[in-house]
Amino acid sequence: MCWLLLLLLSRSSSSIFPPRPGIMAEFSDLLLSVLSSVRVPRSGDRVHKDECVFSFDTPESEGGLYICMNTFLGFGKQHVEKHYQKTGQRAYLHLRRTRLPKVDDGSSGAGDPPKKKPTRLAIGVEGGFEVDTENFEYDEEVKVIILPENAIILRDSLTLMSTAVRDRVSASIDAMLAADSASRKQEIQAWDGEVRQVSKHALDLKQMGNNLRIPPCGWKCSRCDLKENLWLNLTDGSILCGRRYFDGSGGNNHALEHYKQSGYPLAVKLGTITPDGADVYSYDEDDMVLDPNLAEHLSHFGINMMKMQKTDKTMTELEIDMNQRIGEWETIQESGVHLKPLYGPEYTGMQNLGNSCYLNSVMQVVFSIPDFQNKYVGNLEKIFKDSPSDPTQDFNTQVAKLGYGLLSGEHSKPPPETEDSDPEPGKQVELDGIAPRMFKTLVGKGHPEFSTNRQQDAQEFFLHFINMVERNCRSSENPNEAFRFLVEERINCLASGKVKYTQRVDYIMQLPVPMEAAINKDELAEYEVKKREAEEDKNTLLEMVRAKIPFESCLQSYAMPEQVDDFWSTALLAKSVAVKKTRFASFPDYLVIQIKKFTFGLDWVPKKLDVSIEMPDELDISQLRGGGLQTGEEELPDIAPPLVTPDETKAPVLDESVVIQLAEMGFPLEACRKAVYHTGNSGVEAAMNWVMSHMEDPDFANPLVLPCSSGPGSTVTVSDLPSEDSIATIVSMGFSREQAARALKATSNSLERAVDWIFSRIDDLDAEAAMDVSEGRSAAESLSESVPPGPKVRDGSGKYHLFAFISHMGTSTMCGHYVCHIKKEGRWVIYNDQKVCASEKPPKDLGYIYFYQRAGS
């Protein structure tokens, strides 16, 4: 009978039922027995139909994907049986897709059209940067699997079942197939960097009645002789040059200076005016904007917008050109040479999920370190067994899944060889790699930056990941010990001669770049002259000349004593001048060095120092070890300094590095200053928590007002005793009553903020809270404020050898691209998202973050 062919059983011989006349009723009864557990997904449910929660199996994998019809979690073939045994869930929707090449019907012409040069600063939209399109179709099989019987029931056979079974199961299948997958809901398919908002000044812009008429061409800056990158102020008709770019090109900042002097906010870029519009910039709003009345505003100065033609590059075109800078991109990606693809364990690439290269590069390096391999991949079975009901929300599970995917080699297999075709010479083989969607979603959850698809700073993500590891390793093996080291800070009060020694935990050595130490100053000066000459000859293409900074000079700058003005001396009980010296109190197994290439100019515009630093393969920093209190030195009294001294009402000295980091994320400058003030200079993590907790405050962006001043401002009141319920809640998490009370006191008795506060200071919990304010801490110190008790900090020789580095291409941390190079099996390997190849010319002088391993380990 035909209907018998629609009912299939497992291919396993042990599960085949002998066909008999009552088989239809038997299968109907089987579905009826699980019907109560079959759910129809609602709009809020996440259907994980693209990827296994424990592996990177997908419907395209050999065994397909099994989606639980109750929880909507997806499982690969090797994990579905374990889920059934753990939960008792028996009904699963089995998806199996077979990739088929698209059939060319001849209507599109022969071959693929050449890729168009991007004309729009966007991804996945017309004219923007192209995303890879699929040149294949899918043949999809949909079945229902019942465990433990391993019965396989085809979707079409449901029409022969009872009405109750057919309606419920069909509704569940249809809804699961129609629902957006969990990963799809998290992704932004297209990003448009040109979407602009209407300026708040456009509708009521005041224009001077000076009868000024602007000619249609022949413009030049009224303060210098520049004839390009010119901006017409829409209030008074001034024509002035634009900003100077990070690489020295652009203008002389005269248009910006004019705004600061006059306050006239809107300007249009001359040469971009066409009947369709123009580039309009709002200095007050600090962004490109729309001006609905642009034609009227231009006609005020005699400019007929309908007759204008484009003669200069738009700001979008300039940024696209910047993102395609040939020199740096080709060098770091080694795109000028043919690279041999590598396959197998530890050679698995990671797909770029839309500006996720920062995450890919960091995690490739992290899982090249044995501590992380042993913690997560070595304990894989236990982590998976102990995972909660929703493994997608469990940090340890998703980190272990990612680690196994990178190290196992299951997703890094060479393409099958074909006898009838040879690879084209010089053609790079495209690899799929793994897509860390669940991991990225989880580690970015709740974070204002890492939860987006924007580009991020790899160093900030590294510290964010380290912080999350700390939170999830309180009572277990902690792989962060590989990176953790103690910093010794010696402060010498020059007036009293007394000293103070403090130790703190850090994870990154931040190395300054002394530009004045460049060894090719003559070459740089010659390059600047040629670049200015080339500005007049658009056809001239100059080879970039970078400042060559000796590594020894960077090391000397790090070790150089730092003068501390307005130092509160506890010996004098007054302000003094002190000298601070930073040294290592311990040397970690793996030393992470960040080259401080990114900085802010005087106008708060972020810029990148384009430098070349020859990093040594072998490094010895033994001379940087501190020695603690020396014979004959007298310590400063251990008295907590006031945040504001009695003789002043001005704002205290704030950690400008933290203020800058927050401002770079887009928060108002005054809000950033208040965040650093109210968290006592305790680092970027604490300040970020303050920002997120106070974003809705009406005075969030108002200037900082000290509690002792008479002006308005928010003053944190901590005198009220915390509630017993809040203390009990925190104590139930495993913390002491004293720790709970301290956390609530520091967060104005806000339970939610107190929990964040206490988890961000895990290593500090056993230290006594003798001081509410700590001095001179770096961004990583939000992870810990004191020496962790016990054997949590390793120590050893200060001799290292280079084993990995992360490089950045682009103008700032907020754009561009990251790749990493890792030394494996005696050779350098480049990890460029999903591409993993043997490196031919590792650009060790252009790196951003370097990883050194202790020699002999």
Give the pLDDT of residue 262: 94
Q: How far is CA 852 from CA 160, 687, 803, 829, in A?
A: 66, 30, 6, 16
Give the pLDDT of residue 787: 37
> Cα separation of 567 and 577, whole Å?
6
The encoded tokens of residue 820 equal 């990493």
The encoded tokens of residue 227 equal 């004839």
Is-catalytic flag, 473?
A: no
745, 751, 777, 753: which is closest to 763 by C-alpha?
777
Residues 6+ apart with CB under 8 A from 19: 4
The encoded tokens of residue 724 equal 């017993």
Q: Where do we find the tokens 């005087």?
A: 602
Give the pLDDT of residue 164: 87
Among candidate residues 493, 817, 820, 821, the one labeled active-site is: 817
Question: Is 0.75 surpassed by the pTM of this model?
Answer: no
Give the pLDDT of residue 431: 59
Give the pLDDT of residue 855: 94
Give the pLDDT of residue 531: 79
Check if the beta carbon of residue 19 is closer than 8 Å to that of residue 176.
Answer: no
Amino acid letter, 680: G
Check if the beta carbon of residue 564 is closer than 8 Å to that of residue 578.
Answer: yes
Q: How far is CA 553 from CA 439, 611, 783, 853, in A?
A: 39, 13, 29, 22
Give the pLDDT of residue 742: 77
Half-sphere exposure of 744 (CA within 13 A, CB side): 22
Among candidate residues 68, 241, 357, 493, the one labeled active-site is: 357
Residues 6+ apart with CB under 8 A from 111: none
Is-catalytic flag, 672?
A: no
Q: How far is CA 284 from CA 200, 263, 264, 287, 686, in A?
A: 10, 8, 9, 8, 30
> Cα separation of 447 and 464, whole Å?
10
SS3 832: strand
244 DSSP 8-state letter: B
586, 610, 584, 597: which is closest to 520 by C-alpha?
610
Half-sphere exposure of 670 (CA within 13 A, CB side): 10
Transcribe 706-734 into DSSP letters: -TTSSS--------SPPPHHHHHHHHTTT
> Cα separation of 571 and 685, whole Å?
32
Give the pLDDT of residue 716: 34
Mean pLDDT by 10 residues, the chain (857 residues): 36 38 68 92 88 95 95 96 95 91 54 50 48 64 93 86 89 89 51 67 92 89 88 95 67 91 94 89 88 94 88 66 48 69 94 88 97 96 94 96 96 73 47 88 85 82 92 86 94 95 92 93 88 67 84 95 88 91 96 86 62 95 95 88 52 74 79 83 79 77 62 36 70 69 74 68 44 32 40 88 92 78 95 92 93 91
